Structure 1
């Protein structure tokens, strides 16, 4: 901006009094002093043309500085959720029912109060008239709210007769180009600002008959900790863990 206004000053007929050094660089230094509202007093406009350019530069500079300051404040004062999601959802039996599971962890280790989660299935379906439609289905979670989301949270959806996933296989998910969308939101206890985060999974990322590794462990003092390095660690189910009958 200083280079542009220095060019305008240079186009006039001696618009700056006591200009030093002469030529473009003197106009550039005057532009810097003007836009910064320093006002040393050595150089000043001495013609109508110079006053007009200086007036435009002052208003432009003040508005630009105010705009940049506001944008930077809004950008850096905004809290970041920093919620980690597992790379792969898993489908496995629990208590005799097939369960879709995925997990999240709060990497900030601050408290997110009244956290809530929503899970949706998006897939290609055929209407009665043969029209292909992308439809969104809500998947009910066993627990969709968490009073204090601090460490980790395993989200589970029971695949029963009421579930849109009931009776579907990995091939069915691929044929319908299915995708899972998980969204989390809550309130940061420190700043009282809303925290939001979202993760999507395509059908190829779902692992059937797999289990997550345990994240939580206790130290010698009995304090609970989370090992985030095992966030994405999964293992195939053993024969004992497979459902019988």
Structure 2
């Protein structure tokens, strides 16, 4: 049965009232891709650290490995942010994991009883259903991070069979303005801790549904590997029990 969820419009003033001056948030009704929008600002040298663009609908949204990301207008929280890390560039790939951690902490702040987890490398999950995903691209001296969270989607609106939404799990706050504000506040805190050299891997591992699981890693070239996931590196690679490291691939949790 479908869940009918209220879909308050994104409002930059509401978001800004609930975040620090660290961020500069813009809201657009329709765009091709918020990632491309920020990339254009970077190319024009107009992007600042803390730039955020959120949209009601994007016609060319994409996920990891350039997969298309579809969402009905106002049914998902879709945004990109731009940061200029001061850590060594080799460490930047951990930011995808840090972003996922920020997302589930932000949701838990809004509802302490809510327990989403993270599936390596970039899926936000509730049970076995994917509620959100993250992509990141290095551009110049910064990183553009894109986030998509299924907020008010009904069962009929879900893009794929293994997807889910906050509404379908009776999450009590479906106002995307408040969810985005909570995310940005949380990301700011974790990013500054990471910038200061803190090792945040333990926080990620504690909230990862992949850790301790027997997994199959399916590589883009069609090959695969199986093993037990035990940890992640400082750069976000998945470490298997045999000591091997995984940098890219789809993870299947084996039961």
TM range (shorter): under 0.3
TM norm structure 1: 0.21
Structure label with greater radius of gyration: 1
Which has a greater percent of strand? Answer: 1
Point out which structure has higher relative CO (alpha carbons under 8 A, 6+ apart): 2
